[in-house]
Structure 1
């Protein structure tokens, strides 16, 4: 049985061995730059762990798993352009280091590469694998569109926000797990349970990510703190605060949401104080814990190798330790 650390090392080793330094250099250099920045490799790790859970040799699933990682990084490339983000994993984003056109085209090439890697699986499973991947990829795009629309809407509900993060973030984690299960010939019921485990851990993870954007440490979080506040992102924190705020807090919060010219650090500090006064930071932690508990409940019902289930539970727990 391969543990999480070994699988992460395997994924990184295989990614490092792939030559993304072809011609034209301006197309492939941003791809190599992006993939070399590392990260937790959560999606391929989950895919390979799911395959192992149902008794599959993970080396036979390695390339589809890498395809998921390439796709994930492609979405980050394009997201950073749309968000005008300057830093990703403590390094300049691709559109900052090169330009927006380079990031768009290199991202397109990464999407094609992802498909090529997904196709490197058992041909009997190829139709299912491609159907799942396409469904997940389209869902991620839908989630990103909602995310952008929410920036200019003043009537976004918490439920709408939760559906957006289900599509944008949780779906790919769930799809990664289900792809591993499908390629390992898992029973339909178990494939669905591992998928639900992924949805719920993904929801918890994104709620935590939003929390850390306001209350995290930039060095450990890897992104500049307060970006969501500056951009008026409709996160669980902001939407819950808008719902709970009354009188002076409501007036202050609306002022910061609508003001056109402001000092960034002043806005971040002021909005965080409102969040804490309304206890929405605590509500966010409670919500992410509820999703986490549901995820673990789904995983316990899966009929797979217990030692792998335990490893997945430990991994899920580690993902949720970033706020502690």
Structure 2
């Protein structure tokens, strides 16, 4: 059994090839440019881990993991266009460097390339893989639309936000694990527990991400904290604060979000602390993490085979960056 870090290295070496033709370069170079930045590779590596939980990693799983990583990058290119983001990982985004029309086409062809890799796997489980892949792709689009809808809404419930995060972020993590498990020969019951492990882990991961953006150490987090607060993003923290704040605190929060003063981040963080939002977020994260680990524990394989996934869960949730 290989660790997450070892598999990240192995997949990085496997993925470090040219995935697109040379011509027309105006279409394909933007994708090669985008893919050259690297990334955490969490989703494809979770696919490999889902396979290795039940069997030796099959050659088809590398094709599937490649498809998953290309699909994820397709969503990032289109997300950057929708968010009008100038930078990603410190680099010019594709639509800024090459124009929006080219970026749209580059994202489209990235998705098509993902399906070409899927088409290389063994037909005996291709139908199940395609069904789950397509369902997940649709759900990711639904989650992105809900995220955009929420930006225009005055109030969003915590349950609605969790549903959005599940669709936008968690289902791809969950499906990556399950698709790898399908190739590994896992039973339906084991597949379901593994999917639920990934889905709950994804929600805990997002809670930790929201927490770090507000309360993280800038030197460890790698960027200034408070970015979500400056943009009035409806995060777990803000939604709960609006629920539990006193009338005066809620009025102050709404005023700060509308007026955007220079000390906005500091003043909102003070309200968060007064409402114990930091401690609440830790408890919520732990709730979803423990649910995830309970599903992992229920999978009918030897405990030693689960250790890399337990280590991954702890790494993702306890990270400080």
What secondary structure is seen at the aligned counterpart in 1 of 2:300? Answer: coil
Q: 1:272 aligns with which of 256, 269, 272?
A: 269
Are 1:125 and 2:122 an aligned pair?
Answer: no
**Offset of residue 310 of structure 1:** 0.6
Change (3 A) 1:307 1:30: farther
What number of residue pairs does the alignment pair up? 321
For structure 2, the 5+ residue unaligned runs are none
CA contact (8 A) 1:122 1:183 kept: no
Match of 1:69 in 2: 69
Are 1:302 and 2:299 an aligned pair?
Answer: yes
Are 1:44 and 2:41 an aligned pair?
Answer: no
Are 1:235 and 2:230 an aligned pair?
Answer: no
**Offset of residue 25 of structure 1:** 2.1
Match of 1:293 in 2: 290
For structure 1, the 5+ residue unaligned runs are none
Match of 1:8 in 2: 8
Q: How does 1:18-167 map to 2 (within 5 A)?
A: 18-20=18-20, 22-167=22-167
Distance 1:267 1:80 in 2: 25
What secondary structure is seen at the aligned counterpart in 2 of 1:18? Answer: coil
Q: How does 1:158-237 map to 2 (within 5 A)?
A: 158-217=158-217, 220-221=220-221, 225-237=225-237
Distance 2:293 2:319 in 1: 18
What secondary structure is seen at the aligned counterpart in 2 of 1:65? Answer: helix
Are 1:281 and 2:278 an aligned pair?
Answer: yes
Q: For residues 93-139 of structure 1, give each alpha carbon's deviation from its aligned partner in whole angstroms, at most 9, with x where no partner exists.
A: 22233332232221111111112222221111111111100000100
Match of 2:311 in 1: 314
CA contact (8 A) 2:249 2:271 kept: yes
Distance 1:222 1:25 in 2: 34
